[in-house]
Amino acid sequence: MRTAEISDEIIGRRIASPVYSKDGYLLLSQGSIVNDKILSKLEHHAISTVKILDSLSEGIEPTGIIEEKQMVESIRVVKNVFENVLYNEANGVSTAIPPDQMDLVEEVIQSLIDALEKTENLLYTVVEMLDTTEYTYKHSVNVAILSILTAKAMNYDTPDIKNIALGAFLHDVGKMVNDQDLINKPGKLTLEERKKIEEHPQYGFNIVKDISNLPYTVKQIVLLHHEKLDGSGYPFGLKGIEIPEFVRIVTVCDMYDAMTTDRIYRGKMPIYTTLEILMTDAVYKIDRNIYRHMTENICIYPPGSGVVLSDGRVGIVSFYRATNPVRPHVRVIDINTDLLNMQVVEVNLEKEHTMFVIDTWDVNQFKKGFKPKTKPKSSLRSQIDDEVNEMIEEVQNVPIVTDKGKVLQLFIEDTKTEAI
């Protein structure tokens, strides 16, 4: 099976796994065949992707680290909490989160921790289920999951992991006090608009500060998750050891998910591009030790994703081992044939030592005559997508060592890459 975007292209395809609404209700059962009515139903419920069965991905099992039903329920809880804050703010009522909702949040966090204990052989992949208007809610859950994995890799004990996850889950609650037209603006923010949105950590702290049984660790994460080690963050411009380590964990995970998820104003970035940008930021802005531990849990090439090999062939990842995720098994395909006549060859990069992945491509764009990029990238950042260039704030020369050992002088963007 593979993940496919909602479009006319999936009509006639069989659904490979159950599809749930944003409220947690079952929309489609496994095995349903998509027709015009089902397509309209999916669009009505703002479902952005589904898992389908076809000859291109037959036998491939996408390995989500959290079951989809649990993800939907987690997103539903955070949405209810955040929208309650939004409603109260609009009606001049106290925006404090009531005890019954905090109980639900803690139950969700505990269930995520318990689920992740059972998936030690799987790596984190971004979950794309709902459209970009639901970004803040699913982003909060994604950051909580990745923060749990990172804190666990750093040998935090369970109570501290839970507090870090709680902070990650609530880190953007202050955005509910911001002007929602700015939060959902499809274009680039002006400097003035950006400054207004940068007030959301303080708004969030005001919402959680008086919750008596909420650990101060959680409140600090909500307030400080946009601070950077070099003092370039906000709201206080803290530096170095002024920023607690548990806050830094959420900061790195927040930045990673913001870049690898579709936004209203831009598409998601490839995982390898995101990690390269964060690696650059790890020199001055973010904690390099946390970055290292986070990347240990990232699946760079998830099953069902498209890759380009160093010999110019293209394929779909069919399997990976958590101990060697950069050398997946790849189902090589002939892009000059249609799906009905598709012939594939399995290549195990763990055994093919002279071959490696040089790029990725969108499997949803596959059709006869489609030509993914096949020119190898000469360095870690030899070509930057237009979306990245739009986010450039400053430019500096940084020496980067390529796979061939040559040092190149590349312009590496010092970007505002985190979710603002």
- Mean pLDDT per 10-residue section of the chain, whose length is 420 residues: 77 80 76 86 82 71 76 89 88 83 94 87 65 75 95 96 97 90 84 93 94 93 96 95 97 92 75 88 92 91 87 88 86 70 81 89 62 45 37 33 31 42
Instruction: Say what the pLDDT of residue 380 is.
Output: 37
Q: d(Cα 165, Cα 146) in Å, to the nearest integer?
A: 9
Q: For residue 228, what pLDDT is reported?
A: 96
Distance CA 176, CA 368 (A): 45
pLDDT for 239 equals: 95
- The confidence score (pLDDT) of residue 201 equals 96
User: Distance between CA 126 and CA 24 in Å, rounded?
Assistant: 19
Cross-strand partners of 351: none
Residue 43: per-residue pLDDT: 83
Tell me the β-bridge partners of 307: 315, 360
pLDDT of amino acid 409: 30
How many beta carbons lie within 10 A of that of residue 313, not counting itself?
A: 17
pLDDT computed for residue 221 by the predictor: 97
pLDDT at residue 417, rounded to an integer: 43
- What pLDDT sits at residue 10? 80
Cα 169 to Cα 250: distance, rounded to the nearest angstrom: 10
pLDDT at 340: 54
Is there a contact between 407 and 399 (Cβ–Cβ < 8 Å)? yes
pLDDT, residue 375, reads 44
Distance CA 148, CA 55 (A): 36
Q: CA-CA distance, 387 to 385, in Å (whole number)?
A: 5
Residue 171's pLDDT is: 95
